[in-house]
Each structure stands twice: as C-alpha cells, then as structure tokens.
Amino acid sequence: MKVLLVAGYAESLVTFRGDLIKRMLNSNIEIHVACPGINLSIQDSLMKNGVILHDIPLKRTGTNPIEDIKSLFALRHIMRDINPDAVLAYTIKPVIYGMLAASMASVPRRFALITGLGYAFTGSAKGIRGVIRGIVRRLYKAALLQSNIVFFQNPDDAALFKKLGIIGANIPTRIVNGSGVDTAQYAVTALPETPVFLLIARLLGDKGVREYAKAAQLVKQKYPAVCFDLVGWIDENPDAIRQQELDEWIAAGVVNFKGKLSDVRPAIAASSVYVLPSYREGTPRTVLEAMAMGRAIITTDAPGCRETVQDGVNGKLVAVKSVVELADAMIEIIENPELIRQYGKNSRLIAEEKYDVHKVNSFMLNEMGLI
C-alpha cells in the first residue's frame, strides 16, 4: 500500500507526525510526503527511514491565488505520478488543495485532518480578515466534499463546520485526541523549588501571548520574583506580535524569552506550571507535552484547550482574553504550592490514558483502514 501525506510545515512531519509515519512504515506502507521547504535535517530524518519526499510550491501563509493554483496542480501531478492508494492532508492549505488534487487524480481514499481553525476563523471578521475567512470557508467546503473521512481534534470544531455548512451530513467525521504525545519520550521530571510559569507558542495574538505578558505584569506586582518563561518565535502570520512588543517585555523583565527551541523538554522541565491562553486550538500539542511531563496546566475555556484540563483536577480553566482571570489563577497556584504537585500528577495520568500517541495513531489508522 502507498500513502501520501500532504503538509504545509516541514518540521511538523517530525514533531507532530513522526510517530504516525513510523507506525505506517512498520506496517509495510510506502510513505510519500509532499511539503514545501524541507530542510536537510528533516530530509535526513525522514529519508533514513525510507520516506519518499516531494517538494511543493506551497506558501503556508500566502494569499496569492496564482501561487495557490500552482500548488494545486503540483499536487495533482505528484499524485498522478506516484498513484497513491490514500492521501492524508492536515492544516488548512494542504487539506484544501490536497483533497481537491486527490479528487482530480482519482485517488481512491482521501482523508482530511483539521488540526485547528487558525487565522481565518478566529478574531475579528472585519476588513481583509473577513474576506479571507469567506474564501477559506468556501474552499474548505469544496475540498471536504471530496473526503472519505474528516478528522477533527475536538468536538467544537466539528460542530462549527457542520453549523456553517462547510461539511455536509453525508461526510463521515471522527474526533481524534490531538496528535498524541509519546509518554516515554516526555517523561516526568522533578519540579523546580519555586513556581515557574511557561508558555511555548508561535508568537501570535490568537495564542494569547499578549494576555500572558499582561498577566505576568499583574502577578509581578505582588510576587516580583516569580519567573515567566516564553519559548517561541515570530511567525509569518498576519496575527503575529510585533518585534517591538517582544523587546519591550524582555527589557522590562516581564518574560524570560528563550527563543525557538528544537527540543522543548528542558524548558518544560525547568517549569512548574504550563500556561496557554489561546483563543482556540485543535488540540494543543505543547499542553500534552507538559501534561506528560507532570506539569500543572492553566489554559482557556476554549475549543481544543478545554478538552485537556479538568478544572481543579489537573489545572485551571480561565475565560478567553481575560487577563485578570489568568493572573488570579497564577496567584492561586503561587499561594497554594501543593496544587502544583497535585495537578501535575493528574496531568500525567490523563496524558497516559487519553493522549498516548500510540493509542491516537491506532485509532486514526484503523478508521482509515490502513492497518
């Protein structure tokens, strides 16, 4: 059997889909990958395991329709050339153009994985953002009509797609518990002696980075010694924070910025509480990694985020965009340090039971009929 994965971000093939790829390879499935910008390190990592790579001219955050049409026909050409038995595409553009190309190339089995709604579905619908939102929804609808199964990472996204008419009642949908996490690779580590908060994210407004910085400022008024670590980078995205904002937070000592890390485990190990004030997610992988390593979680009562936390069991849920609620949750944990150990222990148990990557991958592959 031959399977083609279509991705928009090369690093995700290793960090998010690496275990899925290994599982398919171990099942004697020939794996092809179509993705833009695959660097030498990722090439080596994939090719040494026998994955066949195809570069495609896809711009993940671009809005040029001519470039997107080129992506569509490049994918159709690849599919006609390799003649896969199945295509699995994830993230917005790969799903849209991957499903359309798979239909054009008469690929018999076509699967879409909605890992989150992104810029086109969150925040204001005014101006250019509103125009982009309308176009994306129409393209999604056309693409998902060509799918055999659409996987969602949380029930809210599935319900929204159905409510908006993006996906019809005749298209089968499944809910999968995120990308999963390797609980052996992300092992529990000792907690630091004093509370340390951590956020790992692309530095986007919709990830709640500004709320994290503002909450840190409020907490530091009462507990100036508490540390707030920030790991990430300024992405090529219309919603990205400005470099000036980040520089101001660093200069003021609001956050301890660690930049982009290839391995986030040391940063999680140095923290005691993981914070993600996101406006909406599929299922946030960084939260799963922190849970597996036995960390308390503070996140928002938002789609994708709320699935990871049982409020008062393994962390706290706060309202989206509420800096005050976020700061209050942080202060509660600072003033009740026994919660850190209690929440962290429960996080690990939930990660093992619900989010273990092997369970997640087995579910997906069984649903697709690939194993």
pLDDT in tens, 39-68: 998 999 999 989 999 999 998 777 788 899
State the total domains in the chain. 2
In this structure, the answer to whether residues 345 and 230 fall within a common structural domain is: yes
Distance from C-alpha of 6 to C-alpha of 75, rounded to nearest angstrom: 9
Task: Kindly list the distances between the CA atom of residue 345 and the CA atoms of 100, 142, 191, 214, 298, in Å, as whole numbers in the listed order.
Answer: 45, 44, 11, 28, 15
Residues 172 and 256 in one domain: no
Beta-bridge partner residues of 204: 240
Measure CA 176 to chain center.
13
Same domain, 156 and 273: no
Note whether 337 and 362 are same-domain residues.
no
* 188 within a domain of the structure (yes/no): no
Phi, psi of 13 (to 5 degrees): -65, -30
CATH number of the CATH domain containing 296: 3.40.50.2000
- pTM of the full structure: 0.92
68-115 per-position pLDDT tens digit: 999 999 999 999 999 999 999 999 999 999 999 999 999 999 999 999
pLDDT band at 120 (very low <50, low <70, confident <90, very high): low
| Residues 239 and 212: beta-carbon distance below 8 Å | no
Cα gap 29→3, rounded to integer Å: 7
| pLDDT, mean over the chain | 94
Is the residue at 187 inside a domain?
A: no
Question: DSSP E strands: which ranges in 225-282?
Answer: 227-233, 256-259, 273-276
Q: Is the pLDDT of residue 192 over 90?
A: yes
Quote the CA–CA distance of 364 and 179 in Å, as a whole number. Answer: 10
Flag whether pLDDT at 217 surpasses 90: yes
CB 347 within 8 A of CB 295: yes
Expressed as residue numbers, the domain containing 300 is 196-354
pLDDT band at 342 (very low <50, low <70, confident <90, very high): very high
Q: Which tens digit of pLDDT belongs to each residue from 309-331?
A: 999 999 999 999 999 999 999 99
Check pLDDT > 70 for residue 126.
Answer: no
If asked whether residues 340 and 235 sit together in one domain, one would say: yes
With a CB cutoff of 8 Å and minimum separation 6, the contacts of 179 are 16, 17, 115, 153, 283, 285, 288, 357, 360
Q: Are residue 250 and residue 157 in the same domain, yes or no?
A: no
